[in-house]
Amino acid sequence: MKKILMIAYHFPPLAGSSGIQRTLRFVQHLPALGWQPLVLSADPRAYEKSSGDLMADVPQGTVVRRAFALDTARHLQLGGRYLGWMARPDRWISWKFAAIREGRRMIDEFKPDVIWSTYPIATAHVIASALHRKTGIAWVADFRDPMAHAGYPADPRTWRSYQAIEEDALTRASYSVFTTPGAAHMYQQRYPAAAERIVVLENGYDEESFSALAPLQSDELRAVGVGTRPLLLLHSGIVYPSERDPTQLFAALGRLKKEGVLTTADLRIRFRACVHDELLQHLAKTHGAQDFIELCPAIPYRAALAEMMAVDALLVMQARNCNAQIPAKIYEYLRAGKPILGLTDAAGDTAAVLRGAGLSDIAALDSVDAIAHVLPTLVRDWRRGNLRLPKALAVQKASRRGRSESLVSLLEQVAHQRERNFVPVSG
């Protein structure tokens, strides 16, 4: 069996990020496809939040090594401040030093065929690059989303460090992987010499996690008929202040309430584990929309999936500045089999996924008018039983098992293309 060294910050017991699912599900499916995963992650002390609810999903016998790491913002600040270089390219740069040493030990012990590293923690690519240069083992850089792009990161020196890391990866890695066509196209234009080595491998959902679930219905949903209760619309996961800014949504709700078009008997929006509760409370109150929303704490992963299957419809928000990105949660939304309201730019990749699944309830996140038009329509169609559900074929294609098969196809190519005359260099 071939082996792959997987360098991933996001791995159980980390909690609070859907990004953990990509690596975890690859680790689950790769052994049956002929590849043994060897995981190099961070010491859990670096995680701001942790939970054991996904530890059982790591297959028994999986090699998982954890290298010392600190979160600069929590562990190395003094008086609420820390030096910028201590968090560049990210707050977990301290992971680099022990991870490179541990990675060398794992390579000596297990002799992996491929090194794989995954963003959004840029330090993972730094570690992988060092191990690739020292050993000559082929490297696959899993970017997921763009790194350095217009306005992000905001700090110029951090932006330049991101640019240097991505340039190094696009130059050295056998393949650079992105989760959306838009992101791949962006990098093919930015790095034309690497265009043929840039591929798309989308996120997905884990069928095994869903198949064992029965939808969890609240007492309220069980007791009251569709015709007499409000539509329950769920946003599950983090609401980023820039990339998923709900300001215009709340403004639209306030307008519809003032005009008497919608009342709280028509619609309730639940934000589950949004992280920025205080910001959402302030925005909702500012626009007179607080009666339409409820803020709920994080719950275990499978409970969150069950909730998606229980509510009436699901909400995804993605701003125009993220047109080349797709929230990983959207694939779980598709599998939940519920109508989806997309507040996103019609020209972006998120909207394309929704349209590809036969879903057309889409409005621009930055347009009060567009949102104020789509919400009453959504409620009306729901009461009439006319809301569209995701197409079965689109759901089937988004399975993590299928994504893992695509990854294995790529890994096989890499394994056959390994350079035979490589001489390791230090640095």
Q: Is 138 helix (H, G, I), strand (E, B) or coil?
A: strand
**Token pair for 175:** 């393949």
What is the distance, to the nearest Å, from the Cα of residue 16 to the centroid of all Cα atoms in its chain? 11
Helix (H, G, I), strand (E, B) or coil at 415: helix
Neighbours of 93 (CB within 10 A): 20
Question: Which structure tokens are listed for 400?
Answer: 């993590």
Categorise residue 40: left if φ over 0, alpha if ψ from -120 to 50, beta otherwise: beta
Residue-wise DSSP of 339-355: -EEEEE-TTSHHHHHHH
Of 149 and 37, which is predicted with more confidence? 37
Task: pLDDT band for 423, please (50, 70, 90 cuts).
Answer: very low
* Domains of the chain: residue spans and CATH: 2-204+399-416 (3.40.50.2000), 208-394 (3.40.50.2000)
Q: Dump pLDDT digits (tens) for 180-239.
A: 999 999 999 999 999 999 999 999 999 999 988 865 555 444 433 455 699 999 999 999
Task: For residue 189, report the phi and psi dihedrals to the nearest 5 degrees.
Answer: -75, -40
pLDDT, one tens digit per residue, over 300-356 is: 999 999 999 999 999 999 999 999 999 999 999 999 999 999 999 999 999 999 999
Residue, of 19 and 267, whose pLDDT is higher: 267
Measured CA angle at 346 (ends 363, 266), to 5 deg: 15
Instruction: Please check the confidence at residue 29 and state whether its pLDDT lies above 80.
Output: yes
pLDDT tops 60 at residue 420: no
- Report the sign of the C-alpha dihedral through residues 308, 313, 318, 319, in that order: negative
Q: How far is CA 43 from the centre of its chain?
A: 21
HSE, CB side, 13 Å, CA atoms: give it for residue 143: 31
* Phi-psi map region of 198: left, alpha, beta (phi>0 left; psi -120 to 50 alpha): beta
Q: Comparing C-alpha atoms, which of 316, 219, 351 is closest to residue 18?
A: 316
Residue type, 37: P
Q: Structure pTM?
A: 0.83
DSSP notation for 197-265: GEEE----B-HHHHHT------HHHHHS-TTTS-EEEEEES---TTTT--HHHHHHHHHHHHTTS--TT
Average pLDDT across the chain, whole number: 92
Over residues 87-94, the mean pLDDT reads 92
What sign does the dihedral 161-171-324-357 (CA atoms) show?
A: negative
Which of 80-84, 235-239, 381-385, 389-393 has the lowest average pLDDT?
Answer: 80-84
- What is the DSSP annotation of 82-100? --GGGGSS-TTTTHHHHHH
